[in-house]
């Protein structure tokens, strides 16, 4: 079954502000809540579909990628290549809806969505930095979609210490301040009674483990610079400034924390014959006097090869012919732009003896005499050009 449009799933307009999306999702989640749909076996899937839509549309970066590239643009941002419940980061915003779901889904699935982000015993330190790289593509490559290999230098887990940051023989030890919890509890008294604050452990920074002796090769960071090659699939129809996020392909996190992302920015190489205007391609076609006057069947280059085109009798210089569907495909896969062929009548700068004779003969005939100039003339040219 084809994936549904996220905006359609939640029933919101494409430009809807975030609070409207939030509201729409709340309504959706209440309606499709498995608790209320015990007799409907499809409800669980629908419930998940709504969460996926909300996850994407409530995140500015994911939403932009989706608006530009459709589902293809965001699937790589989910760890398993597709949305899993563990990708849902908004359960905390809808706790009233999600709080009892562990029982329904057999526990465990939602376990790590709650608790203020504190996964017991897990690493919570900050992930690696995101990286940006640019990849230049010709218009032909963009028209077809391309697979590109990009080279970049990034921080990867240190091989000497296996990412731990600790010197050989000096294994990292469990933090004693938080007893391996990554968090510490502080009780404070107030007028209203005792409150317990949970904060990140100041000793290990939430890492759970502390390093006594640092690895010499990485200085305790657990990561080193490496040159790598990445393969990236570029969908057809992308434009300058678009980017493709490669999840987990940025710098490795310090001390084994998850890696950041790598953003591949698209650059459009200048083309010697074509000019891109949105999804339309403009091509200037020089033709001779006789071709313009008598008409001709010719071949013009397009992004996907040569295509025959008819020059009608009496074609005016500057006239634009539209070749439907010969432009750039829409990046979301809906439709294709056109190629606009702008005819330029080429005046010869050198003529042979024979051609000169014929031109003189033609001049005497005066049948092809140009009309009067002035404003009226340009109005008539505009009519011809459809402007
Ligand atoms: Zn190391
Ligand atoms: Zn600690």
Q: What is the pLDDT of residue 99?
A: 58
- The CATH number assigned to the domain holding 359 equals 2.60.260.20
Question: Which residue carries 């996020």 as its tokens?
Answer: 245
Q: Please tell me whether residues 129 and 264 are part of one structural domain.
A: yes
Evaluate whether residue 186 is within a structural domain.
no
Q: What's the rounded mean pLDDT across residues 69-97?
A: 77
Question: HSE-up of 316 (CA within 13 Å, CB side)?
Answer: 14
Q: Is position 206 within any domain?
A: no
200 domain residue, yes or no: no
CA of 247 to the centre of ligand 1 (A): 24
CA distance 201 to 181: 8
Q: What per-residue confidence (pLDDT) applies to 102?
A: 44
Distance in Å, CA 173 to ligand 2 centroid: 10
| Inter-residue contact 355 to 304 (CB < 8 Å) | no
Ligand nearest to the CA of 254: 1
Q: What is the pLDDT of residue 29?
A: 86
Q: Which two tokens stand for residue 11?
A: 């029933």
Q: Measured in angstroms, how far is the CA atom of residue 251 from the centroid of ligand 2? A: 24
Of the two residues 55 and 114, the one the predictor is more confident about is: 55
Q: Give the Å distance between the CA of 175 and the centre of ligand 1.
A: 19
- pLDDT for residue 193: 64
Report how many domains make up the chain. Answer: 3
Which residues line ion ligand 2, judged by CB < 5 Å? 175, 177-178, 201, 203-204
Q: What is the 3-state secondary structure (H, E, C) of the chain?
A: CCCCCHHHHHCCCCCCCHHHHHHHHHHHHHHCCHHHCCCCCCHHHHHHHHHHHHHHHCCHHHHHHHHHHCHHHHHCCCCCCCCCHHHCCCHHHHHHHHCCHHHHCCCCCCHHHCCCCCCCCCCCCCCCCCEEEEEEECHHHHHHCEEEEEEEEEEEECCCCCCCCECCCCCCEECCCCCCCCEEEEEEEECCEEEEEEEECCCCCCCCEECCCECCCCCCCCEEEEEEEEEEEECCCCCCCCEEEECCCCCCCHHHCCCCCEEEEEEECCCCCEEEECCEEEEEEEECHHHHHHCEEEEEEECCEEEEEEECCCCCCCCEEEECCCCCECCCCCCECCEEEEEEECCCCCCCHHHHHHHHHHHHHCCCCCCCCCHHHHHHHHHHHCC
220 CA → ligand 1 middle, Å: 6
User: What spacing in Å lies between the alpha carbon of 171 and ligand 1's midpoint?
Assistant: 12
Residue 109 has pLDDT above 60, yes or no: no
**Residue 340 structure tokens:** 């606009």
User: Whole-number mean pLDDT of the chain?
Assistant: 83
Confidence of residue 101 (pLDDT cuts 50, 70, 90): low
If you measure from the C-alpha of residue 207 to the centroid of ligand 2, how many angstroms do you get, rounded to a whole number? Answer: 7
37 versus 62: the higher-pLDDT residue is 62
Same domain, 279 and 143: no
Range of the domain at 330: 274-385
Q: What is the pLDDT of residue 1?
A: 58
Task: Tell me which of 30-39, 133-142, 341-350 is least confident.
Answer: 30-39
Say yes or no to pLDDT of 220 above 90: no
Tell me how far CA of residue 22 lies from CA of 25, 30, 45, 56, 93, in angstroms.
5, 12, 20, 11, 9
Q: Is residue 331, in this structure, part of any structural domain at all?
A: yes
Q: How far is the CA of 50 from the centre of ligand 1 (A)?
A: 43
342 and 356 inside one domain = yes
Helices 60-69 and 43-57 pack at an angle, to 10 degrees, of: 100
Flag whether 251 is in a domain: yes
Shortest CA distance to 220 belongs to which of 143, 168, 277?
Answer: 168
From 242, 270, 298, the end of a domain falls on: 270
Using the 3D structure, point to which of 252, 270, 288 is the last residue of a domain: 270
When pLDDT is averaged across residues 120-149 and rounded to a whole number, the result is: 82
- Regarding whether 159 and 48 lie in a shared domain, the answer is no
If asked whether residues 107 and 68 sit together in one domain, one would say: yes
Question: Residue 150 has what pLDDT?
Answer: 93
Q: Which ligand is nearest to the CA of 177?
A: 2
What phi and psi values does residue 24 have, to the nearest 5 degrees?
-65, -40
Residue 67 sits in a domain whose CATH number is 1.10.287.110
Looking at the domain assignment, is residue 160 inside a domain? yes
Buried b (16+ CB within 10 A) or exposed e, 295-326: ebeeebebbeeeeebebeeebebebebebeeb
How large a percentage of the chain has pLDDT more than 90?
43
Q: Which of 117, 138, 161 represents a domain boundary (last residue)?
A: 117
Q: In this model, does residue 281 exceed pLDDT 70?
A: yes
Are 262 and 338 members of one domain? Answer: no
- Mark whether 152 and 66 lie in a shared domain: no
Domain co-membership, 103 together with 150: no
Q: Which of 144, 85, 119, 132 is nearest to 258 (CA)?
A: 119
Q: What is the 10 CA–ligand 2 centroid distance (Å)? A: 42
**Per-residue pLDDT for 314 more than 80?**
yes
**pLDDT-above-70 percentage for the chain:** 83
Domain co-membership, 56 together with 92: yes
Do 252 and 141 belong together in one domain? Answer: yes
Same domain, 164 and 238: yes
Instruction: Report the separation in Å between the CA atom of 129 and the middle of ligand 1, taken as the mean of its atom positions.
Output: 18
CA 68 and chain centroid, separation: 6
Task: Compute the distance from residue 122 Cα to the ligand 1 centre, in Å.
Answer: 21
318 domain-assigned: yes
- 138 with 111, same domain: the answer is no
| 40 vs 55, higher pLDDT | 55
Q: Is residue 195 part of a domain?
A: no
């Amino acid at each position: 079954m084809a994936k549904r449009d996220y905006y359609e799933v939640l029933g919101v307009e494409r430009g809807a502000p975030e609070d409207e999306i939030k509201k729409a999702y709340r309504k959706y989640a209440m309606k499709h809540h498995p608790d209320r749909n015990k007799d409907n076996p499809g409800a669980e899937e629908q419930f998940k579909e709504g969460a996926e839509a909300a996850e994407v549309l409530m995140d500015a970066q994911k939403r932009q990628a989706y608006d530009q590239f459709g589902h293809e643009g965001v699937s790589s941002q989910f760890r398993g290549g597709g949305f899993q419940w563990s990708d849902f980061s908004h359960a905390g915003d809808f706790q009233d809806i999600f709080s009892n779901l562990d029982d329904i889904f057999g526990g465990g699935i939602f376990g790590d969505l709650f608790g203020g982000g504190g996964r017991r015993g897990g690493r919570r330190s900050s992930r690696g930095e995101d990286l940006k790289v640019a990849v230049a593509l010709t218009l032909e490559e963009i028209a077809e979609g391309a697979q590109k290999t990009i080279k970049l230098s990034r921080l990867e887990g240190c091989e000497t210490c296996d990412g731990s940051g600790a010197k050989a023989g000096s294994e990292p030890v469990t933090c004693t301040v938080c007893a391996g919890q990554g968090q510490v509890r502080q009780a404070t008294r107030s007028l209203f009674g005792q409150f317990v604050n949970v904060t990140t452990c100041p000793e290990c920074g939430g890492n759970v483990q502390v390093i006594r002796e640092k690895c010499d090769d990485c200085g305790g960071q657990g990561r080193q610079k490496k040159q790598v090659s990445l393969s990236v699939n570029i969908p057809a129809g992308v434009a300058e400034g678009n980017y493709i996020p490669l999840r987990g392909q940025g710098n490795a996190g310090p001390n084994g924390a998850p890696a950041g992302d790598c953003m591949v920015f698209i650059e459009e190489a200048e083309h010697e014959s074509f000019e891109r205007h949105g999804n339309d391609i403009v091509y200037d076609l020089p033709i001779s006097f006789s071709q313009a006057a008598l008409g001709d069947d010719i071949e013009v280059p397009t992004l996907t090869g040569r295509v025959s085109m008819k020059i009608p009798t009496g074609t005016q210089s500057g006239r634009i012919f539209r070749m439907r569907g010969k432009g750039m495909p829409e990046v979301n896969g809906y439709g294709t732009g056109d190629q606009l062929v702008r005819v330029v009548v080429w005046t010869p700068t050198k003529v042979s003896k024979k051609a000169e004779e014929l031109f003189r003969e033609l001049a005497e005939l005066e049948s092809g005499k140009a009309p009067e100039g002035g404003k009226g003339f340009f109005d008539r040219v505009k009519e011809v050009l459809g402007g």
